Amino acid sequence: MSLGGKLFIVFLAFLALITVVIYMAFRERQRGKALSQDDLSGQRAQDARVLTVIFSAIFGGMLLTLLVAWLVFF
């Protein structure tokens, strides 16, 4: 497989990662509108879910960066 093909696969993985984060953020935003203002535990749980997905995506992006560097330079 050529370098372009490998990088295209990495690009598709990046798009999948971003799609999951955006979907999760919008889903949690819709759920957050249904919560009452005095439901602090529900709001905290919602914030925790969003932060978990975002930080997981950060680590996934770092791994994809390492993969691209390995594909290009080695």
Write out the chain's pLDDT in tens, 74 residues: 899 999 999 999 999 999 999 999 889 888 888 888 889 999 999 999 989 988 999 999 999 999 999 988 88
End-to-end CA distance of the chain: 14
pTM to 2 decimals?
0.76
Cα separation, 16 vs 31, in Å, equals 22
Instruction: List, as one string, the DSSP characters of 7-68.
Output: HHHHHHHHHHHHHHHHHHHHHHHHHHHHS-TT-HHHHHHHHHHHHHHHHHHHHHHHHHHHHH
Delimit the domains of the chain by residue range: 3-73
Cβ–Cβ under 8 Å, residues 56 and 21: no
